[in-house]
Amino acid sequence: MKSNYRVVVIGGGVVGASVLYHLAKYGWTDVCLIERKVLTAGSSWHAAGGIHALNADPNIAALQAYTIDLLPEIERESGQNIGLHMTGGLTMAGTPDRWEWLQSAYRVFQSIGIEDCRLVTPEEARELNPVMSTDGLLGGMWADREGYIDTTGTVQAYAGAAKKRGATVVENNRVLELNQTADGWEVVTEKGTIQCEHVVNAAGLWAKQVGRMAGVELPVSPLNHHYLITDAIPEVAALDFELPMTVDLEGFTYMRQDQKGMLVGIYEIDHDHWMEDGAPWEYGFELQQEDLGRIENELTLGFQRYPCLNDAGIKTWVNGAFTFSPDGNPLVGPVPGKRGYWTACAVMAGFLQGGGVGKSLAEWMIHGEPEADVYGMDVARYGDFAQNKRYIRETTGQFYSRRFVMTYPNEQLPAGRPLKMAPAHDAMTAVGCKWGVSWDLEVPLYFAPEGFEETPTLKRSNAHDIVAEECKAIRENVALLDITGFSRFEVSGPNATAWLDRIMASKLPTPGRAKLAPMLSETGKLKGDLTVLNWGDSRYWIMGSYYLRAWHMRWFNDHMDDGVTVRDLGEEVCGFAVIGPNSQQVVEKLAEQDIGALKFMGCGQFDIGLVRTHVARMSVTGEKGYELNCRYGDHIALRRMLLEAGADLGIREVGFNAMLSTRIEKSFGIWSAEFTQGYTPGMTGMDRWIDWDKEFVGREAAMAERDGNGPGQVQVTLEIEADGADASGYEPIWSDGNRVGFVTSGAYGHHTGKSLAMALVDREQAAVGTDLSVHIVGVERQAKVIEASPYDPQGKAMRG
């Protein structure tokens, strides 16, 4: 062990070993892995080792596919046998809703290029897995590239391949302290002190403690997980092929063959947290006593699904801990505010996701960003609110218990809620507001009559007609929308204008004006679809998506200049939008200044009744609108005044569901759908806002796209012949049987009366009038490319 390395990776499980391997593979060989005991001494050694394609997040599913492809490569490179058994895999459904969901998921996989899957009948599934009872099953999905590996051998293979490329592995050497220095980090270990530029927390069960060494409180918690291994089973031994990996979604179990017996794992409803502050340092190859009473119901279902288990002996029980994040996805990337400190933890499916995590983190460290869009596992998707112990306990437990429970797009889960509420929350609840959550904040979805409950579904919700009435108020009269759920950053200082001009690709607004502003990475990919407002007093605001607050603040800080201050106003400023053709009549009743003088995309400070507000004349619905931003303490009064001022016009409170319907009628994209860090300006149409005559971050790459052959796929608007269900995202798009794109988002346009979607399609299929088809909840529907903005294409309504 040397006293200086470029990178120190802490943790010798599959994730730490994969990070080490990928760093060395991509050219950073001055890297060292520190393991407190020996490789695999944590969760890795007792993991079941299953590999499968299914994941609710398509981007993470793609990284899982990368891992599966990588496994034979590291076996060859290292010379270490990883015990790879590519048996294929089944995922089975036993209710109409689950079967519908599985058919829809199959089409999502096609959209992201996973082509080795197919749907199967119960009879076909029984042929593929003869020891499985198909009683009650409606169908399943088969994937060719599923199976299992030897967990210890796989970790040794990653580490061995890394060492062959020049990396260092040091075992039996616990990290004692982490101290930030001017040049990076000081890593104090039992065998000496190391100076390094970067530290990676891949400590698994000890991630919490290693985070606290750096002053970081990570939202992770270990939970215990059971599986059993049987003695030899005659029905299994008699087969001339190996049983496939099988997931029984209704029984909360997964199964694979183990020698001539079976391994059966259980994701029980009655979850069990273990050592919430992290495992003891001396813990390593121990397990917890099995708790059969806690898993009795799921175990019974497993024995019913595989009747041969009833006569089998149990050779081994495993009840060991894995570390989970609130949503079950990994926590990866640079920790905001801790330069050079990286996380690669909470990877509960480490042997399935570890390759993709290692690849993405290594690319991020070396090149400044990963190749894939990894927001779904970015550590910055959580803020300080996620450090709360009860929040962590509730959300990680909820995820574990729902591991094999489908979550619907319109379903609101209860764990960790309500947390943060706008001041007028109770008053809005009293008149029927139904709430969703964005990051830590309760946001209004729609306003329903007393006693209404929304039914979770993949199809049109029973709230469809309620949202239709809210859209009517927006389009024909006047509506009030709580916009606390927008992010706001204040930019000030002597160099504020120059800094904004550099990081934003658009022209900056003049005083009293606002502009849409794409923000790009150095490689020309999107980092934000933002709005910049110039208040005319040397202050700017940047407005965007509320749930990206920590993510964007990290970006701002990483690109900061002297003489600039960026302040997150998310705990100080909230507000309401007044939207619709009669919006001006409502606002001007209260405004002390001439609100009529405020033109489209204008902004300024106005006294609205007794409330001092920052007003912007804009709306994402495509209607005339005013966004009124106020202090948190003024939120209740502002709402009350606006409702009173609009009472004679029949003002109606609305939620974000109506906003989403009206925005898609305007072909207005949103982040995490039309705009992501995996897309470029040319793909998404954001290039029309770029000021090509100035220097800005990402300009060279953006110009290369503009002046080259252009993107292979571009954004279009589709009209779909839908029936009771609308597109939501990642549905495949077809032309003459060939996949030519996928939906980025969709909704029913209540004013136009059309099922609409926005999509990325091959340029050859992007012409208006092109006939296509798209799978909606597994059913193929006819679609047509239409002109953008099917409602008010000239924008006359919003300009007023």
pLDDT at 25: 98
DSSP 485: T
Distances (CA, A) of 634 to 189, 397, 460, 605: 53, 37, 37, 15
DSSP 671: B
pLDDT at 245: 97
pLDDT at 52: 84
Is the CB of residue 439 less than 8 Å from the CB of residue 487?
A: no
Is the CB of residue 161 less than 8 Å from the CB of residue 77?
A: yes
Fold classified for 4-367 = FAD/NAD(P)-binding domain (3.50.50)
| Spatial separation of the C-alpha atoms in residues 117 and 386, rounded to whole Å | 36
pTM: 0.96
CA atoms within 13 A on the CB side of 538: 7
Assigned token pair, 421: 């509420």
DSSP β-ladder status, 4-10 and 192-201: parallel
Q: Which of 340, 344, 341, 368 is nearest to 356 (CA)?
A: 344
Q: Beta-carbon neighbour count of residue 124 at 10 Å?
A: 15
| Spatial separation of the C-alpha atoms in residues 588 and 28, rounded to whole Å | 62
- Nearest 10 degrees: Cα torsion 16, 19, 25, 26: -150
Assigned token pair, 38: 């020996």
Which parts of the chain have pLDDT scores under 50?
none
Is the CB of residue 652 less than 8 Å from the CB of residue 470?
A: yes
Sheet architecture: strand order including 253-258: 117-120, 139-143, 89-93, 245-248, 253-258, 261-266, 221-230, 314-324
pLDDT at 560: 97
DSSP β-ladder status, 565-568 and 341-345: unpaired
pLDDT at 255: 97
| Spatial separation of the C-alpha atoms in residues 398 and 272, rounded to whole Å | 11
pLDDT at 57: 76
Q: Which of 755, 772, 756, 776 is nearest to 764 (CA)?
A: 772
Radius of gyration from C-alpha coordinates of the chain: 27
- How far the first Cα of the chain sits from its last, in Å, is 70
pLDDT at 455: 97
Is the CB of residue 768 less than 8 Å from the CB of residue 735?
A: no
| Spatial separation of the C-alpha atoms in residues 531 and 540, rounded to whole Å | 10
Assigned token pair, 509: 């607004």
**Alpha-helix runs per DSSP H in 530-614:** 549-558, 583-590
pLDDT at 249: 92
DSSP string, 259-289: TTEEEEEE--SS--B--TT---TT-SS--PP
| Spatial separation of the C-alpha atoms in residues 205 and 177, rounded to whole Å | 17
Q: Beta-carbon neighbour count of residue 381 at 10 Å?
A: 22
Q: CA 744, 745, 747: angle at the middle one, nearest 5?
A: 160
Place of tokens 């894939």: 372
Assigned token pair, 565: 């201050």
Q: Is 686 left (phi over 0), alpha (psi -120 to 50) or beta?
A: alpha
| Spatial separation of the C-alpha atoms in residues 280 and 272, rounded to whole Å | 17
Place of tokens 């799921």: 298
Residues of the chain with CATH 2.40.30.110: 674-791
Assigned token pair, 44: 């890795």
Q: Beta-carbon neighbour count of residue 29 at 10 Å?
A: 16
pLDDT at 387: 96
pLDDT at 58: 76
| Spatial separation of the C-alpha atoms in residues 52 and 213, rounded to whole Å | 35
pLDDT at 59: 80
| Spatial separation of the C-alpha atoms in residues 82 and 68, rounded to whole Å | 12
Number of separate helices (H) and strands (E) present in the chain: 20, 37
| Spatial separation of the C-alpha atoms in residues 758 and 98, rounded to whole Å | 26
Is the CB of residue 134 less than 8 Å from the CB of residue 126?
A: yes
| Spatial separation of the C-alpha atoms in residues 787 and 752, rounded to whole Å | 13
Long-range contacts of 211-218 (CB under 8 A, 24+ apart): 211/343, 213/175, 213/177, 213/178, 214/178, 214/180, 214/185, 214/335, 214/338, 214/341, 215/338, 216/335, 216/338, 216/341, 217/387, 218/331, 218/343, 218/345, 218/346, 218/379
Place of tokens 């749907």: 119
Pick the CATH number of 674-791 from 2.40.110.10, 2.40.30.110, 2.60.120.10, 2.40.37.10: 2.40.30.110
DSSP string, 627-662: EEEEEGGGHHHHHHHHHHHHGGGT-EEE-HHHHHHH
pLDDT at 62: 83
| Spatial separation of the C-alpha atoms in residues 319 and 59, rounded to whole Å | 30
pLDDT at 480: 98
Residues of the chain with CATH 3.50.50.60: 4-367
| Spatial separation of the C-alpha atoms in residues 619 and 485, rounded to whole Å | 14
